[in-house]
Amino acid sequence: MRGALNLLLVLLLALNLRPMLTSIGPLLEPMRQSTGLGYQQAALLTALPVLCMGLVPLLQPWLRRWLSEHGGMLAGLAAIAMACLWRLQLDSAWALIASAVLAGLGVAVVQGMMPGLVNRWFPTRLAATMGLYSAALMTGGGLAAVLGPSITAYSGHWQVGLGVWAAPALLALLAWVALRPRQATVALAGGGGGHWFGNRRAWLLALYFGLINGGYTSMVAWLPAYHLEHGGTAQGGGELVGLMTIFQVTGALGLPLLLRGLVDRRPGLWLALAIQLGGFLGLLLAPATAMGLWVAMIGLGLGACFSLSLTLTLEHLRTPGEAGSLAAFVQGVGFIITGIVPYITGWLRDVSGDFQASWTLLTCTVLAMLLVTARFAPAGYAQAIARARGASVATLS
């Protein structure tokens, strides 16, 4: 029973970590008309929250001295809910950007704790539970993208399409208060991990996580606009993000399940990256022929990459505290990179006049990550991370 309640909490928390990002793209045109947002400002609505997702986990070695896991979770969920409620009544570009930062800070706190929490609650079912967590995270994002335009059309206000996502955030907050395990206070992001800034393997994992998932933020930010440029509609753009999400969920759940007997995560990552590569090449070479197919392939690859790359990070260390601390560092640096990517792809769209340069950059990134994946042989985990473990002991002594 306790395990089922813990899993329910994981899923409810994960559902709230993407709507504030994915609800933006399908409603971008009415937002731009109402507030005067340019493409560069619009990129900030995705880039700034993702940068928050990066910076806050990097501060967790200091935050955990005074903020408990329970307090952090309450603060994070409250920030998400407040940002969404604010969006119900805002009418300026800068207020919209400020709400994105507030929501991003909330997501950053909750998301930074999740890998360590999953590792502690489900130590013997780590890969499967990370797959479920990733799938729920992506499902929340897909629902916001698909339902946002319909809610906006029904209410007559794009603000409602953005602000309605306060409801699931409040539900998750109440569920956390009522259902969380009553145990000794746990420090934010787990205890005793130390700092990882001096370890090469930690940096490699962080760069890998950021670049292997960089296509997600760009697709969320620009896929609806790309669809409009090819004669589509806002609703159609949202449906494309929804299609991508369906295949993300399939990838996050299906590929780890298919390869559950393998200790080595590289075959799954190679396959996921190859599928992504096929999708981006399709957008480059034949976008009008089968856009839905290319988007589905990208989603399938991205979903599997997110789940497997987080699992790869957690498997580098045996204890939940150290693994959670490493995952916080990897997500911190990784999400800073992931947040910068859509800003760069938006800039390329502005200077070139179309999205081909943007898709070319993402294609080259996927090719590079295919090569980097070879570095992550399980037999080398202990040796690669040993220096960081020594630094952790020195920090604690």
DSSP state of 221: H
Expressed in angstroms, the distance from the first to the final Cα of the chain is 39
How confident is the model over 65-87, as a mean pLDDT? Answer: 91
What average pLDDT does the chain have?
86
pLDDT the model gives residue 369: 96
Handedness of CA 183, 186, 190, 194 (dihedral sign): negative
Handedness of CA 133, 110, 118, 7 (dihedral sign): negative
How far apart CA 355 and CA 373 sit, in angstroms, is: 27
pLDDT the model gives residue 189: 47
Helix, strand or coil, per DSSP, at residue 79: helix
pLDDT band at 270 (very low <50, low <70, confident <90, very high): very high
Helical segments of 88-231, H only: 93-121, 126-155, 158-163, 166-179, 200-212, 214-229
Distances (CA, A) of 220 to 21, 224, 247, 269, 392: 7, 8, 14, 21, 37
Reply yes or no on whether the pLDDT at 91 is more than 90. Answer: no
Q: What is the CATH number of domain 2-389?
A: 1.20.1250.20
HSE, CB side, 13 Å, CA atoms: give it for residue 383: 6
Reply yes or no on whether the pLDDT at 235 is more than 50. Answer: yes
Reply yes or no on whether the pLDDT at 391 is more than 50. Answer: no
* pTM: predicted TM-score of the whole model, two decimal places: 0.79
The DSSP element (H or E) to which 366 belongs, if any, is helix 356-372
Reply yes or no on whether the pLDDT at 52 is more than 60. Answer: yes
Among the listed residues 395, 253, 359, 388, the one whose alpha carbon sits nearest the alpha carbon of residue 311: 253
pLDDT the model gives residue 146: 84
How confident is the model over 175-185, as pLDDT tens digits? 999 988 876 55
Reply yes or no on whether the pLDDT at 192 is more than 50. Answer: no
Percent of the chain surpassing pLDDT 70:
93
How far apart CA 161 and CA 73 sit, in angstroms, is: 25
More confident residue, 40 or 230: 230
* Residue pair 297/275 in contact by the 8 Å Cβ criterion: yes
E strand map for 87-190 = none
Handedness of CA 29, 101, 129, 322 (dihedral sign): positive
Query: Which amino acid, one-letter code, is at 62?
Result: W
* Residue pair 370/277 in contact by the 8 Å Cβ criterion: yes
HSE, CB side, 13 Å, CA atoms: give it for residue 230: 19
Reply yes or no on whether the pLDDT at 83 is more than 60. Answer: yes
Helix, strand or coil, per DSSP, at residue 319: coil
How confident is the model over 307-359, as pLDDT tens digits? 899 889 988 987 877 888 888 899 889 988 988 888 888 889 889 988 899 99
The tokens for 99 are 């709400």
Domain parsing of the chain, residue ranges: 2-389
